[in-house]
């Protein structure tokens, strides 16, 4: 079981600093979770990840179920053994990936049948078995099975889908309760997922239906699925504050630095996104003065670090010119170096947010980040 305590509240915004105690340590929020889809943060050895010191990391039930499979993971000592990571781990339930990756999906009220995108083998996810799978992975936080709606979506379809997701969530919680009655079997928590597209009434109804149950946390799901940035920000401002104040709030799959900073002000505690890691593989770098692409020819003669204000080993050891050379030479090392930097940027951003909240000056912190974003937009276009 988890315990959660809000320790500081920003006087001007909904931002809060909190501590979420898990079997593998305490997660100090707001926190960004690096994504380790298939059992590793791409390019980053476990000992390197430990030095970056994220509060919690995320892995993917769907990918790991297909390969190497739950039994193998269990025998490795769980996901912690596979990933060589001793801190907290959250897994998503696999629902999102089934709807975005798997072939020949068949959905019914009892779950979803699909075929692996790797080898076509058939698999079935149910509200119960996703919880059981995650418990066998030994994760600190499991997510319920839900249906992630496309954007845009008709309201009628959304209503039916949300009702089903709520029912699945409650069934998942029953299964979790059963597992926890078996002493020593699983000490993790289960988060429910609020859905409802961009419809406030539907999000409210979904929240009301979920909040009566004893979930360990609540996520905002179904955002960052193609809607414009303004719509995302409005939706977070609408959806996040509805969620129970006394439980962690997790915004799934979001996002850009300015999205995180905005969402923290709306009371979100946890984030995950592939952006820092995936961007590193295309040469995109996040810095305290905006984003850049290391491929750009202007970096041939730029002998400064990626980000003067950054304390990561990439910025201590390598110039932009060296990093550009390694990137255009297609050296794997450049993936490692840019990933380490980008993750440091996201982790430090959330550390900075937390410190600002604790010091009662989150409004100023947010304003500074917004100024940088606006400056960048003026210079680079939208």
Q: Looking at the annotation, which residues are catalytic?
A: 92, 272
Our finding on whether 237 is near its own copies (CB under 8 A) is no
Tell which one of 6, 25, 26, 40 touches its own copies (CB under 8 A): 40
* Interatomic CA distance for residues 151 and 199, integer angstroms: 12
Our finding on whether 297 is near its own copies (CB under 8 A) is no
Our finding on whether 319 is near its own copies (CB under 8 A) is yes
Tell which one of 11, 122, 241, 317 touches its own copies (CB under 8 A): 317
Query: What minimum distance in Å lies between the beta carbon of 281 and its own copies?
Result: 8
* Interatomic CA distance for residues 333 and 347, integer angstroms: 21
Query: What minimum distance in Å lies between the beta carbon of 80 and its own copies?
Result: 11
Our finding on whether 44 is near its own copies (CB under 8 A) is yes
Choices 45-53, 172-180, 264-272, 346-354 (CB under 8 A): range interacting with its own copies: 45-53
Tell which one of 1, 12, 67, 152 touches its own copies (CB under 8 A): 67
Our finding on whether 78 is near its own copies (CB under 8 A) is no
* Interatomic CA distance for residues 189 and 336, integer angstroms: 32
**Are the CB atoms for 31 and 55 separated by under 8 Å?**
yes
Nearest residue to 11 via CA among 277, 370, 364: 364
DSSP for 318-355, written as a single string? --HHHHHHHHHTT-HHHHHHHHHHHHHHHHHHHHHHHH
Residues 6+ apart with CB under 8 A from 65: 94, 123, 133
Tell which one of 110, 214, 301, 371 touches its own copies (CB under 8 A): 301
The single-letter DSSP state of residue 35 is B
CB-wise, 51 or 364, nearer to its own copies? 51
Query: What minimum distance in Å lies between the beta carbon of 314 and its own copies?
Result: 7
Residues 6+ apart with CB under 8 A from 377: none
Query: What minimum distance in Å lies between the beta carbon of 118 and its own copies?
Result: 9
How many CA atoms within 13 Å lie on the side-chain side of 124? 7
The reply to whether omega before 339 is within 30° of 0 (cis) is no
Tell which one of 332, 379, 381, 382 touches its own copies (CB under 8 A): 332
CB-wise, 240 or 336, nearer to its own copies? 336
CB-wise, 326 or 369, nearer to its own copies? 326
Tell which one of 3, 5, 45, 106 touches its own copies (CB under 8 A): 45
Our finding on whether 331 is near its own copies (CB under 8 A) is yes
Choices 19-27, 172-180, 226-234, 333-341 (CB under 8 A): range interacting with its own copies: 333-341
Query: What minimum distance in Å lies between the beta carbon of 318 and its own copies?
Result: 5
Our finding on whether 109 is near its own copies (CB under 8 A) is no
How many CA atoms within 13 Å lie on the side-chain side of 372? 15
Element (H, E) at 372: helix 362-380
Choices 175-183, 202-210, 224-232, 300-308 (CB under 8 A): range interacting with its own copies: 300-308
The single-letter DSSP state of residue 298 is G
Residues 6+ apart with CB under 8 A from 95: 112, 125, 130, 145, 146, 147, 148
Our finding on whether 142 is near its own copies (CB under 8 A) is no
Tell which one of 72, 282, 293, 296 touches its own copies (CB under 8 A): 72
Nearest residue to 217 via CA among 193, 191, 244: 191
Which sign does the torsion angle of CA 103, 104, 105, 110 carry? negative
Our finding on whether 380 is near its own copies (CB under 8 A) is no
Where do contacts with its own copies occur on this chain (CB under 8 A)?
A: 38-48, 67-68, 72, 75-76, 81-84, 300-301, 303, 313-314, 317-319, 321-322, 324-326, 328-329, 331-333, 335-337, 340
């Amino acid at each position: 079981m988890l315990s959660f305590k809000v320790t500081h509240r920003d006087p001007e915004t909904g931002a809060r600093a909190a501590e979420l105690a898990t079997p593998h340590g305490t997660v100090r929020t707001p926190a960004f979770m690096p994504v380790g889809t298939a059992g590793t943060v791409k390019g980053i050895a476990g000992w390197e990840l430990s030095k970056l010191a994220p509060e919690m990391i995320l892995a993917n039930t769907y990918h790991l179920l297909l390969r190497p499979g739950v039994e193998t993971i269990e025998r490795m000592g769980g996901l912690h053994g596979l990933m060589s990571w001793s801190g907290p781990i959250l897994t998503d339930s696999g629902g999102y990936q089934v709807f975005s990756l798997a072939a020949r999906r068949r959905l019914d009220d009892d779950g979803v049948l699909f075929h692996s995108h790797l080898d076509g083998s058939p698999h079935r996810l149910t509200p119960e078995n996703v919880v059981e799978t995650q418990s066998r992975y030994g994760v600190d936080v499991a997510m319920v099975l839900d249906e992630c709606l496309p954007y845009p979506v008709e309201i009628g379809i959304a209503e039916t889908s949300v009702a089903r997701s709520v029912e699945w969530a409650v069934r998942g919680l029953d299964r979790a309760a059963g597992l926890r009655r078996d002493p020593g079997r699983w000490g993790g928590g289960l988060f429910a997922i609020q859905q409802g597209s961009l419809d406030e009434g539907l999000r409210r109804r979904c929240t009301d239906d979920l909040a009566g149950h004893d979930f360990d946390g609540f996520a905002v799901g179904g955002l960052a699925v193609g809607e414009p940035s303004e719509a995302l920000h409005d939706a977070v401002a609408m959806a996040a504050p509805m969620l129970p104040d006394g439980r962690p709030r997790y915004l799934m799959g979001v996002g850009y630095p300015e999205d995180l900073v905005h969402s923290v002000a709306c009371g979100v505690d946890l984030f995950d996104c592939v952006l820092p890691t995936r961007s590193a593989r295309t040469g995109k770098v996040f810095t305290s003065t905006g984003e850049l692409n290391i491929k750009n020819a202007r970096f041939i003669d730029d002998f400064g670090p990626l980000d003067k204000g950054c304390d990561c080993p990439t910025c201590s050891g390598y110039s932009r010119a060296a990093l550009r050379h390694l990137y255009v030479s297609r050296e794997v090392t450049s993936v490692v170096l840019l990933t380490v930097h980008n993750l440091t940027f996201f982790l430090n951003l959330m550390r900075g947010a937390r410190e600002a909240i604790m010091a009662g000056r989150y409004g100023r912190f947010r304003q500074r980040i917004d100024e940088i974003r606006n400056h960048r937009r003026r210079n680079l276009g939208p």
